[in-house]
Each structure stands twice: as C-alpha cells, then as structure tokens.
C-alpha cells in the first residue's frame, strides 16, 4: 500500500501520479466514480500498445483500441477533437505502436486539466492522505 510520501507526491504532480502504479489505481477508482474511467483505460491501452513486439500484435491491439475507445459506436468512446480523429484514421491504414500518440496526449491533458484537480479535492484522495499520515 502507498506511503505518505507516495500520496504526497501524487498531490504535487499529475506526472508522478500517472508514473506510479498505485497512483493510477487510486485515480482510476476516482474516475470510475465520475464515469470517466475510459480515459484511464484508453491511456493504459496505448501504453501497452507501445510494448507490443510484432506487427501482427500491434495491428490486433490497435484495432481493439480503435473499436473500444475511438469508434463513435462504443460506449467507452473517449472525447477527441476531429483533427486527432483524422490522424488516427490515417494511421489505422498501417498501425504502429505510435498510432494513438496524439490521442493519448490529448486524453492525458484532459485528465490533467479536468479530473486531476477534482481528484485532489475528493474524499478518495483526502482519505488516503489521512490514512498514510
């Protein structure tokens, strides 16, 4: 379980929160309470895509990410602007581990700007601070 220093560092920087497995877990719990967990799931899927070794695996994983998070028919669709959607559609012709980089950055920024400040004021985070101090 996280230490006080861990929890404190998550409050200091969104980057530190996202670099930490424990931090991501707690933040994801918070996002679930706000019905925006798909943002974290998409971000994690993009991270996993970058680890894929073979072109076949990359293509399969990219298609799954597209169906799950980009397709307008998906219940887990993430909020992206039309320019980034066009980039993805072009990239999907020949997917690479970096197909979703711009989209991933856009979602990272969205979570940082919108969800993170609310997370720091949430009961979930405040409870953690109390439990670890």
Domain ranges of the chain: 4-34+115-132, 37-112
Contact 96, 35 (CB under 8 A): no
Query: What mean pLDDT do residues 52-74 have?
Result: 97
The pTM of this model reads 0.94
Best CA proximity match to 15, nearest among 90, 76, 105: 105
Query: What mean pLDDT do residues 120-132 have?
Result: 97
Best CA proximity match to 49, nearest among 68, 35, 25: 68
> Residue 1: is its pLDDT beyond 90?
no
Question: Quick one: pLDDT at residue 103?
Answer: 98
Per CATH, is 37-112 categorized as 3.30.429.10? no
> Residue 123: is its pLDDT beyond 90?
yes
Query: What mean pLDDT do residues 39-44 have?
Result: 98
Mean pLDDT of the chain: 97
Query: What mean pLDDT do residues 31-35 have?
Result: 97
CATH hierarchy code of domain 4-34+115-132: 1.10.196.10
Contact 11, 120 (CB under 8 A): yes
Query: What mean pLDDT do residues 52-72 have?
Result: 97
């Amino acid at each position: 379980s996280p230490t006080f220093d861990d929890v404190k560092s998550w409050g200091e920087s969104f980057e530190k929160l996202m670099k930490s497995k424990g931090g991501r877990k707690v933040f994801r719990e918070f996002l679930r309470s706000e019905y925006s967990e798909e943002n974290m799931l998409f971000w994690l899927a993009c991270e996993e895509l970058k680890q894929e070794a073979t072109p076949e695996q990359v293509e399969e994983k990219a298609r799954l990410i597209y169906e799950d998070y980009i397709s307008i028919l998906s219940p887990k669709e993430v909020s992206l602007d039309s320019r980034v959607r066009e980039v993805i559609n072009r990239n999907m012709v020949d997917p690479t581990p970096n197909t979703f980089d711009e989209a991933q950055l856009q979602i990272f920024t969205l979570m940082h700007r919108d969800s993170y400040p609310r997370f720091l004021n949430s009961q979930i985070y405040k409870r953690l601070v109390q439990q670890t101090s």
